Structure 1
Amino acid sequence: MTNATSPRHRAGRPTREQAEARHGELLDTALELFLQNGFQMTTVEMIATRLGMTKRTVYARYPDKAALFLTAVQRAIEHRIVPRKVLESLDRGDLAETLEAIARLRINEVMTPEGLRLQHIINIESHRFPDIFSANYEQSAKPVLEFVADLLDRAVAAGRIAPTDTESAATAFMSMVVGGQVRSIVSGETPTAEEVDRKVHFTVHLLLDGLQPR
């Protein structure tokens, strides 16, 4: 006999954790299909069918395909954000070693399947949705640039490098040390760990040599 005082369980009703996991699966699948087919050719019906959902279920969350796309991209960007405490943990007390560690972290992020997928989506669809490029820069790249500029400010104050425009130097660091590697990776030329280490070491020291006090 059922205990009348116990709450009734709704059979089949997902828990909050299950619902969140299913939503994450929707966003991941949507991003994958947008990458495979392009935004224009991907339909909500295709995404729903891949997941065994109905279009009505998707539209209950998102008013249109663009809203779903932008949310999926935003979620991918958030997964690439490096917390400040992680950057601080890379500070070895040696400027060159710290910069090399930061560069490897950023490069390794792009080399993951999720990182590559996001980079490809931004490259392909930023002409249609320019805000995704800005969002990726502001949320993911800019905090790293600011951290590097802070490192360089401290090095200038300590007399280890010459006074310079540290924001521009941080931008040069990201372009020289990270940007070139990322472009090769996105084009399909995946380097080995040894190749990454060698190129990162070379370009970090090339940058710092140019910043030595004269």
Structure 2
Amino acid sequence: MAAETTNKPKVGRPKAGTEAERNDHLLDQALVLFMREGYAAASIAKIAVAAGVSTRTIYERYKNKAELMLASVDRLVETDISEMQGIENLEHLSCRDGLIALGEKLLGKVMQPDMISFYRMGVAEACRFPELSDLIKNTGPKRIQEMIAAYLHRHAAETALSVAEFEPAAALFLEMLIAEPRNKALFGILETDWDARAHVEFVVQVFLYGIAGRRPS
């Protein structure tokens, strides 16, 4: 994500680069503002100043603030998915080791302070903008879930899941992986000695083998 700067760029003077690079810069700056100020307070005018473009430029690309926010979330998710898919030797790992690698990468992203702030903002804004909350859920978590489901599908022989079970199994895995540590971080009660690796390994153990199930050899 692009770093914030103390000097305000000139409105109407986008950063040099290709059209795609300039739009990526806009989406990065928009996400920074949404995380820092919340959806309601992060106006198109403020985002335009931060990105160094005019409000007209933004409205030429996105019809409203909700669409801009969804695009910024989509860019973030696309980057995260690309990084997870780029894990070295992922396709050659066992399902257990692959899920541990994916879990560590994803949990590291989710637990970053800016992402906790973003989640906190989403919770706070959910009552005022329920339609936005639903759209974000379908844009971000849904795509991560689909990626995990596809990974489980490729390892169907190891999981013994049926075709109809890949999606709900992926949803369950993500809930087990993320919910507790994220909620603790949200309320500022995550233990200082919390071991992310141990958490991921335990989640994968329970997910694949159950509490009293068989353990890998």
TM-score by length of 2: 0.67
Match of 2:150 in 1: 146
- Alpha-carbon distance between aligned partners in 2 of 1:171 and 1:75, rounded to the nearest angstrom: 21
**Matched length:** 195
- Alpha-carbon distance between aligned partners in 2 of 1:41 and 1:189, rounded to the nearest angstrom: 27
Deviations 1:83-123 (A, max 9, x none): 78536833554443332222112111213466446545554
Mapped contact 1:32–1:117 kept (Cα < 8 A): no
The amino acid of 1:141's aligned partner reads Q
Displacement of 1:79 in angstroms is 1.9
- Alpha-carbon distance between aligned partners in 2 of 1:156 and 1:189, rounded to the nearest angstrom: 34
- Alpha-carbon distance between aligned partners in 2 of 1:15 and 1:32, rounded to the nearest angstrom: 17
Mapped contact 2:27–2:71 kept (Cα < 8 A): yes
Displacement of 1:139 in angstroms is 1.9
CA RMSD of aligned residues (A): 3.7
**Is 2:139 aligned against 1:135?**
yes
Match of 2:80 in 1: 80
Higher mean C-alpha deviation, range 134-143 or range 122-131: 122-131
Q: Residues 142 and 44 of structure 1: is their aligned pair in 2 closer, same or farther, counting only changes over 3 Å?
A: same
Match of 1:45 in 2: 45
The amino acid of 2:138's aligned partner reads S
TM-score by length of 1: 0.68
Q: Residues 67 and 174 of structure 1: is their aligned pair in 2 closer, same or farther, counting only changes over 3 Å?
A: closer
1:155 to 132, 153, 158: 158
Q: Quote the sequence identity (%).
A: 24
- Alpha-carbon distance between aligned partners in 1 of 2:188 and 2:25, rounded to the nearest angstrom: 26
Unaligned runs of 5+ in 2: 1-12
- Alpha-carbon distance between aligned partners in 2 of 1:111 and 1:155, rounded to the nearest angstrom: 29
- Alpha-carbon distance between aligned partners in 2 of 1:191 and 1:20, rounded to the nearest angstrom: 41
Higher mean C-alpha deviation, range 13-22 or range 35-44: 13-22
Mapped contact 1:31–1:69 kept (Cα < 8 A): yes
Structure number, greater radius of gyration: 1
- Alpha-carbon distance between aligned partners in 2 of 1:42 and 1:15, rounded to the nearest angstrom: 21
Mapped contact 1:176–1:203 kept (Cα < 8 A): yes
Displacement of 1:154 in angstroms is 1.0
Unaligned runs of 5+ in 1: 1-12
